[in-house]
A = this chain, B = another copy of it.
Amino acid sequence: MSAGWFRRRFLPGGPLPEPRPAGPRSSPVPYHRPRFLRGSGSSPGATDASRRPDARPVRSPARGRTLPWNAGYAEVINAEKSEFNEDQAACGKLCIRRCEFGIEEDQEWLTVCPEEFLTGHYWALFDGHGGPAAAILAANTLHSCLRRQLEAVVEGMMAPQPPMHLSGCCVCPSDPQFVEEKGIRAEDLVIGALENAFQECDDVIGRELEASGQVGGCTALVAVFLQGKLYVANAGDSRAILVRRHEIRLLSSEFTPETERQRIQQLAFTYPELLAGEFTRLEFPRRLKGDDLGQKVLFRDHHMRGWSYKRVEKSDLKYPLIHGQGRQARLLGTLAVSRGLGDHQLRVLDTDIQLKPFLLSIPQVTVLDVHQLAVQEDDVVVMATDGLWDVLSNEQVALLVRSFLTGNQKDDPHRFSELAKMLIHNTQGKDNGATGEGQVSYDDVSVFVIPLHSQAQEGSGH
């Protein structure tokens, strides 16, 4: 696989190469040298963060250029956890071909004029672990999967109401009534497409990593602006928030071994063989010791949101399925996130115990109806990997955003780019007075700042 092959995937609305079947490969997937790209023109592209041995934020060479698709502004920093940046990003214009016929029936679409595309915008952050391979693959693949999934349902998205049958005849005269009763709207098709795209991308990554003998996984946080709505899909511990003058709104929630404790314990309850007798499914306030045997200690099982006491048995002394607190919580002693892409081969050190069965590639999707929002000029969405949120709270970020945008010229074409840069600077121990602290993030940090005003203006043209 060559880098050029990746690039071919970026052709807007163009044909996507079919995922290759898994199999032995002579050449491994090359680690892309991290680059910092602004999405340019109309093609999504992986953001391109130069490796920075000084761990300083990387700036775009195209700084300040007015992007035709209001792309938002990214800053990426490499904390040198690995040779290449484990944070990867992608952004660009989504061009969804409005095919009346299935792709299989009509290969003439290459001649279709541009007016037959439904366009949207796409931003994505991927925070890799175990190397950057999965994050790079995701940055190069997910938008293609999403475009394919959207093209499969675009006919339904463009209808006043999704039809019961796609490209087919109405079998039952009251079909629209059933769709109405179920409350199915165009946005449900976009949510479904995002869910399916994440799964498809996960399959592709699994095949590619296996074929190239590489390993690793990544979180995925995606924002899509389409038909006047912003969709935020999250699988992992990155976060997106809406910052307005008088409002902070969470647009995603984190998926970690702690937040998904019950789902994970439930799975271990259903399939105890997944723990291979090496782990205990139960949660205790701390790891138990031999001295605890026979005592009654605090515990929680899969069905419990509350706590209770149980008498400690020998099997309770095993290492816990989920162990540690807050950011330190680990699944099977190994992984800090419970959703994401990749990790198909990941095993607990020195055992044959797999982590993948406990991981979900399905994102949670939040919908923001931008047209209903009476958007102000300084309303922005901040998307960032955990490197930012470990150091700054939502309130601190909102404070920084508001004070920065208030003090900046509205017509400064660099202001959102400068804002993203400033947010990252604030994770590097620089006390700028706004937060009164000088905390340091030792993780990779990536930030997108998406100005909603330009989205709403452009979206209203549809």
Contacts and interface: CB of A to CB of B under 8 A. Distances in A.
A178 B296 contact: no
Interface stretch (A41-49, A179-187, A214-222): A179-187
B296 A166 contact: yes
B172 A289 contact: yes
A101 interface: no
A285 B193 contact: no
Given A165-B295, A296-B167, A182 B325 contact: yes
A149 B181 CA distance: 43
A152 interface: yes
A181 B193 CA distance: 39
A291 interface: yes
B307 A188 contact: yes
Contacts of A192: 300, 304, 306-308
Which of A169, A182, A325, A326 counts the most B-chain CB atoms under 10 A from its CB?
A: A182
Nearest to A174: B286
Contact of A188 (B303, B306, B362): B306
A288 to B, nearest CB: 9
B168 A296 contact: yes
A308 B196 contact: yes
Given A171-B292, A184-B298, A306 B179 contact: no
Interface in A141-179: 149, 152-153, 156, 162, 164-169, 171-172, 174-175, 178-179
| Copies of this chain present | 2
Nearest to A156: B309
A191 interface: yes
Given A192-B308, A193-B306, A194-B306, A184 B285 contact: yes
A351 interface: no
Contact of A171 (B164, B171, B295, B300): B295
A305 interface: yes
Contacts of A188: 306-307
A190 B270 CA distance: 26
Interface string A326-363: 10000000000000000000000000000000001010
A325 B193 contact: no
B165 A308 contact: no
A171 B291 contact: yes
A365 interface: yes
A391 interface: no
B182 A285 contact: yes
Contacts of A309: 152-153, 156, 166
A187 B306 CA distance: 8
Given A175-B286, A298-B179, A306 B190 contact: yes
Contact of A306 (B298, B300, B365): B365
Contacts of A303: 195, 199, 360, 362
A460 B120 CA distance: 57
A149 to B, nearest CB: 8
A181 B182 CA distance: 43
A399 interface: no
Given A298-B179, A303-B195, A305-B191, A285 B164 contact: yes
A167 B270 CA distance: 32
Given A178-B286, A296-B165, A195 B365 contact: no
Contacts of A289: 171-172
Interface in A296-331: 296-298, 300, 303-309, 325-326
A194 B304 CA distance: 10
B191 A306 contact: yes
Interface of A: 149, 152-153, 156, 162, 164-169, 171-172, 174-175, 178-179, 181-182, 184, 187-196, 199, 270, 285-286, 289, 291-292, 295-298, 300, 303-309, 325-326, 360, 362, 364-365
- Top 10 nearest A-B pairs (CB, nearest first) are A191-B306, A192-B306, A192-B308, A178-B286, A178-B285, A166-B296, A171-B291, A168-B295, A188-B307, A166-B309
11 contacts: A152-B309, A164-B285, A165-B296, A166-B296, A166-B297, A168-B295, A171-B289, A181-B285, A181-B326, A191-B304, A191-B306
Given A171-B295, A191-B304, 14 more contacts: A162-B307, A166-B309, A168-B296, A174-B286, A184-B298, A189-B308, A190-B306, A191-B305, A191-B306, A192-B304, A192-B306, A196-B304, A305-B364, A305-B365
